[in-house]
Amino acid sequence: MIGIFDSGVGGMTVARAVEQFCPGFPLVYLGDLARTPYGSKSPAMITEYSHRNTEFLLKQGAKLIVIACNSAASTASTFLRSHYSQSIIDVIFPAVAKAAALSQSGRIGVIGTRATINSGLYEQRLQSIRPECKVYSQACPLLVPLVEEGWLERRETKMIVKKYLHPLRDQQIDTLILGCTHYPLLKKTIAPRIGRKVHIIDSSVEVALHLKKILEEDEILRTTLYSPETPNRFFVSDIPSPVHALAGKIFGRTVLLEKADV
Amino acid sequence: MIGIFDSGVGGMTVARAVEQFCPGFPLVYLGDLARTPYGSKSPAMITEYSHRNTEFLLKQGAKLIVIACNSAASTASTFLRSHYSQSIIDVIFPAVAKAAALSQSGRIGVIGTRATINSGLYEQRLQSIRPECKVYSQACPLLVPLVEEGWLERRETKMIVKKYLHPLRDQQIDTLILGCTHYPLLKKTIAPRIGRKVHIIDSSVEVALHLKKILEEDEILRTTLYSPETPNRFFVSDIPSPVHALAGKIFGRTVLLEKADV
């Protein structure tokens, strides 16, 4: 199985994209709702939680791990790669590769949680594959709570998005990476405020496309993971009442959520 | 020692009020920043965390527990009282008593997190001591993130506060309980929007005054807890970078934060 973890429900946008782009490859998802959000926690804490989540997914039979949470990918991916022999794919690299390829001016913006932006990992990776590019980063800590409230197109949300994007707009970026799995749900609010000509990169879609490519190229992995009869499983470490509705919204269908003790 | 716990730093407003009103009575504080916030988690999860926090405080020598977190008080106080023989004081009752005494019209508003409002505990306790009163409750899930960002007097915050308070204003309440320890930091924004004649009750101050009264009346407890030479201790289960600044803002001085494994 493909193991996918996130701090909460945001990573379900990755799971959904994996379902679409990699049919026949079952997945097991873990959303750590008991400790969500990760973005405001310390790197040491996020690493500890990511370690526990990975252990849980491996016990469920995962043979490959996707870190769907940008905050976890930014702070814990080096640790997880050094600790496990399994393939570990994180949500950051595919978005970086896409942005580096798409940007003409080399002026690239990144928005994310405070943990993601403070890690500097997007910047570091962008500059390692395209050294001349200029990266402008902006932490947007209020966007996750706004999305989780479902305030996707409210006036207050539009004002807050505008305020956050203002410095990036001033820098005349031509490409913007949505460095948090919650942000694609705000795409309609973000696009007109950053400028309609700016390419917007959705890290959820990019990581699923990257996984698809790996499965096409790596025969051993493809054979190991292909199992069209195995159903997908969705675990959460806490089941607060709004989670069913949010999951239903993301998948467009009712999803059975199982409780995980992590 | 007086043990005080909260999901994060909000409860430090309670610790600060206890320092002011109960000098000579040392306190040990625990902020569960590793799992914050509680307000969006399930009652079962909040109860489990509250149990662990209480265990930690008792091990540190606490002889009395103050539940400074409204979400924990709303969902876990019954469990904690049935489980422990120590006195357990929660942040809800003193605010309820004050509101019931102050309100003339009997039309009382309560704002809090989703967990607090969904529990219905404020309503239930208000009606048990003043059966004819009408209670109007409003969950305000975005206010905690706004406070934690330090957006106390921004235009966006004012708009969001206005939107949340609108239904309470329509009901012509004469008393409003701030049912979350973060909200006193927004008092200047809340007061003009609910109406200047409305009494605003700060649950942090009320619980400290209640504790002061208990210490005056209960000689055994007073003798047990009085120890003017013992320093106060402040524990947090995670130490993300902004916590020092926020604690400094609440206490008006530098506070040594110790890491707790809970």
Decide if B140 is catalytic. Answer: no
In degrees and rounded to multiples of 5, residue A118 shows phi and psi of: -60, -30
Of B35, B114, B240, the CB nearest to A34: B35
Query: A49-58, B182-191, B249-258 — which one is most confidently predicted on average?
Result: A49-58
- Which ipTM score applies to this complex? 0.89
Q: Matching CATH topology for B2-90+205-259 and B93-203?
A: yes
Q: Is B104 on the interface with A (CB under 8 A)?
A: no
pLDDT in tens, B203-247: 999 999 999 999 999 999 999 999 999 999 999 999 988 889 889
Instruction: Name the architecture of domain A93-203.
Output: 3-Layer(aba) Sandwich (3.40)
pLDDT in tens, B59-106: 999 999 999 999 999 999 999 999 999 999 999 999 999 999 999 999
- Chain B nearest C-alpha distance from A94 (Å): 28
Average pLDDT, chain B: 95
pLDDT in tens, B93-137: 999 999 999 999 999 999 999 989 999 999 999 999 999 999 999
How many residues make up chain A in this entry?
Answer: 262
Decide if A69 is catalytic. Answer: yes
What percent of chain B lies above the pLDDT cut of 70?
100
> pLDDT confidence of A108, banded at 50, 70, 90?
very high
Q: Find the closest chain A residue to B156 by CA distance.
A: A156
- 10 Å CB burial of residue B26 (0-12, 13-18, 19+) is buried
**Under an 8 A CB cutoff, do A241 and B42 touch?**
yes
Q: Does domain B2-90+205-259 have CATH number 3.30.465.10?
A: no
How many residues make up chain B in this entry?
Answer: 262
Within 201-260 of B, beta carbons closer than 8 Å to A belong to: 238-242
Contact, A47 vs A76, CB < 8 A? yes
Q: Is A34 on the interface with B (CB under 8 A)?
A: yes
Bridging pattern class, strands A175-178 and A107-112: parallel
Report how far residue A154's alpha carbon sits from residue B39's, in angstroms, rounded to the nearest whole number.
Answer: 22
Residue-level pLDDT at B101:
97
**Under an 8 A CB cutoff, do A142 and B163 touch?**
no
Please give the average per-residue pLDDT across A146-168, as a whole number: 93
> pLDDT confidence of A149, banded at 50, 70, 90?
confident
- Tally of CA atoms within 13 A in the half-sphere of B1 that contains its CB: 23
Contact, B147 vs B74, CB < 8 A? no
Q: Is B33 on the interface with A (CB under 8 A)?
A: yes
Question: Hey, of A114, A140, A156, A182, which one would you mutate to test binding to chain B, going by the most B CBs within 10 A of its CB?
Answer: A156
**Under an 8 A CB cutoff, do A240 and B41 touch?**
yes
Query: In A, which residues are within 8 Å of B42 by CB distance?
Result: 238-241
Beta strands in A35-96 (DSSP E): 64-67, 87-90
Question: Hey, of B7, B151, B156, B239, which one would you mutate to test binding to chain A, going by the most A CBs within 10 A of its CB?
Answer: B156
- Chain A nearest C-alpha distance from B227 (Å): 35
Sequence-distant (6+) residues with CB within 8 A of B188 are B152, B153
Question: Which of A14, A102, A63 is closest to A226 using CA atoms?
Answer: A63
- DSSP lists the bridge partners of residue A134 as A107
**Under an 8 A CB cutoff, do A159 and B163 touch?**
no
**Under an 8 A CB cutoff, do A159 and B155 touch?**
yes
Residue-level pLDDT at B223:
97
Residue spans of the domains in chain B: they are 2-90+205-259, 93-203
| Amino acid letter, B48 | E
